[in-house]
Structure 1
Amino acid sequence: MNKAIITGGAGLIGTGICRLLIDAGWTVASFDMKDTPQDLQDQGVTHVFCDVGDEASVAGAFAELGWDRLDLLVNNAGIAGPVNGPIETLSLEDWRRVTDSHLTAAFLMVRAAVPLMREGANIINMASTRAFMSEPQTEAYAASKGGLVALTHALAVSLGPRIRVNAIAPGWIAGDDDLRPQDHSQHPVGRVGQAQDIAQAVLYLTGAGFMTGQVLTLDGGMTRKMIYAP
């Protein structure tokens, strides 16, 4: 049975990934500082407490899990809020808090995971369309996601052909609460993205044997849309 570790497995996208992989017959572990939803644990998802940006915590989480093989690592964890305020008042501590949660965390997880990975294993990094386009005052988040894009192609070259490494760049992914008609209609596909959209892409990438070092953008077409003030 294939084995997967999902970081940030307790969040919106993470739970969607865990749920689809479990349904597809995978053995799944969620590394998160928040509790994995009980219904997922009841279905067999193993919850492991882990601060993925902390070296000792990552090492302890792998030791606690105790697996001797890993087929898939999804680096999905990270601080979600992209706005950091004016760059001239952004503290080094807050900059590092964001970049550690995304970029440093991916490095630490990959370093620990690679010795467990065999021929045909996959690493998937969760980037963002914010790696390619920005709103004001989002420097730490954008830099983290841009770094994940570069880390993806660097790892693909270093770890291939044994391990394939790709990234997913989600756009707006949300639950069903408090969304307006215009939130959906501004997307060329006619709706805001859902966690299952990302989960399906993860499952696709595990079988896309000729794809490595790539970024799969899932944003409902927004990065292909010219937006001008009316």
Structure 2
Amino acid sequence: MRYKDHSVIVTGAARGIGAAIARSYAAEGARVILADLLVEQGERTADDIRSGGGQARFIACDVSREEQVVALIARTVEHYGAVDILINNAGIADPHQASFYDLTGDQWDRVMNTNAKGCFLTSREAAKIMRLNEQGGAIVHISSTRALMSEPHTEAYAASKGAIASLTHAMAVSLGPDGITVNCIYPGWIETGDYRELREIDHAQHPAGRVGKPEDIARACLYLTDSVNRFITGAGLVVDGGMTVKMIYEP
């Protein structure tokens, strides 16, 4: 229960990686706020956590909307009295099958506003509360290995995730004097669907021998926000089973 009495916000927590992160912190004793646009799924995930004995509340929030982010942080403080940890997981991908030549400015803005601007807004508001804590706080951005390498027609997504990586080291320098660590995780292939449907070749192309699971990212978050690891800040942790160092994806 290393996170007992810690207040943790996880954005994009209704399902997938975000839900796994929220569950992991709750299992370690944290009081978790799940923020997402998917109300029904978010409420269900929070209910599941509570039914297992954890502390969790769901708050609907569009992280690209400044007024909703301000309200998210205010409600978190109202419920739990503080903000100790923020996991910026909310994000969207490029429009389905939108090529570079067809990608519109509005589509670009939607991806950038959710992924990059959302990280900035939630971090800014959470840090205002964290700096009042005796022990400061910890922020983790979920970027992607797409910030480091790309497949065709993923320009908006790659740019947004690259922005998150740069935001990480900038914030680490700015917020360090306030006792706030800021780090970034670059997930690779993390399967959020039916893991049993993966092919042997899907696993074999990873040097680690398997495709990633949401819990792999959750464990990385727990590591980076642990108070014993406060010497780690401004860092980017690649969690991809070795795929990036292999350099190519096999068909």
TM-score past 0.5 threshold: yes
CA contact (8 A) 1:83 1:137 kept: no
CA contact (8 A) 1:84 1:138 kept: no
Task: Tell me, yes or no, if structure 1 residue 145 matches structure 2 residue 178.
Answer: no
Deviates most, 128-137 or 63-72: 63-72
Shift of 1:160: 0.2
Shift of 1:40: 2.2
Deviations 1:170-189 (A, max 9, x none): 00001414211111111001
Using the alignment, how far apart are the partners of 1:228 and 1:158 within structure 2?
Answer: 37
Aligned partner letter, 1:185: A
Using the alignment, how far apart are the partners of 1:19 and 1:48 within structure 2?
Answer: 16
RMSD: 1.8
Aligned length: 230
Of 71, 74, 77, the residue aligned with 1:60 is 71
Of 155, 159, 162, the residue aligned with 2:175 is 159
Q: TM-score, normalised by structure 1?
A: 0.94
CA contact (8 A) 1:157 1:213 kept: yes
Using the alignment, how far apart are the partners of 2:205 and 2:250 within structure 1?
Answer: 13
CA contact (8 A) 2:94 2:111 kept: no
Change over 3 Å in CA distance of 1:114–1:84 after alignment to 2: farther
Deviations 1:85-104 (A, max 9, x none): 22222111110111111100
Aligned partner letter, 1:146: G
Of 3, 10, 13, the residue aligned with 1:6 is 10
Partner of 2:151: 135
CA contact (8 A) 1:83 1:138 kept: no
Shift of 1:64: 2.9
Using the alignment, how far apart are the partners of 2:112 and 2:250 within structure 1?
Answer: 33
Instruction: Show the 5 A alignment for 1:42-121.
Output: 42=51, 43-65=54-76, 66=78, 67-80=80-93, 85-117=98-130, 118=133, 119-121=135-137
| Uncovered stretches (5+) of structure 2, i.e. residues with no partner | none
Deviations 1:168-209 (A, max 9, x none): 000000141421111111100110000110000000001212
CA contact (8 A) 2:6 2:84 kept: yes
Aligned partner letter, 1:218: V
Shift of 1:81: 5.3
Overall identity of the aligned pairs, in %: 46
CA contact (8 A) 2:89 2:141 kept: yes
SS of the aligned residue for 2:172 comes to: helix
Q: TM-score, normalised by structure 2?
A: 0.86
CA contact (8 A) 2:205 2:249 kept: no
Using the alignment, how far apart are the partners of 1:197 and 1:182 within structure 2?
Answer: 20
Change over 3 Å in CA distance of 1:63–1:219 after alignment to 2: same
Deviates most, 29-38 or 146-155: 29-38
| Uncovered stretches (5+) of structure 1, i.e. residues with no partner | none
CA contact (8 A) 1:30 1:46 kept: yes
Instruction: Show the 5 A alignment for 1:209-220.
Output: 209-220=230-241
Partner of 1:39: 48
SS of the aligned residue for 1:87 comes to: coil
Using the alignment, how far apart are the partners of 2:139 and 2:155 within structure 1?
Answer: 25
SS of the aligned residue for 2:84 comes to: strand
SS of the aligned residue for 2:146 comes to: helix
Partner of 1:183: 202
Shift of 1:6: 0.3
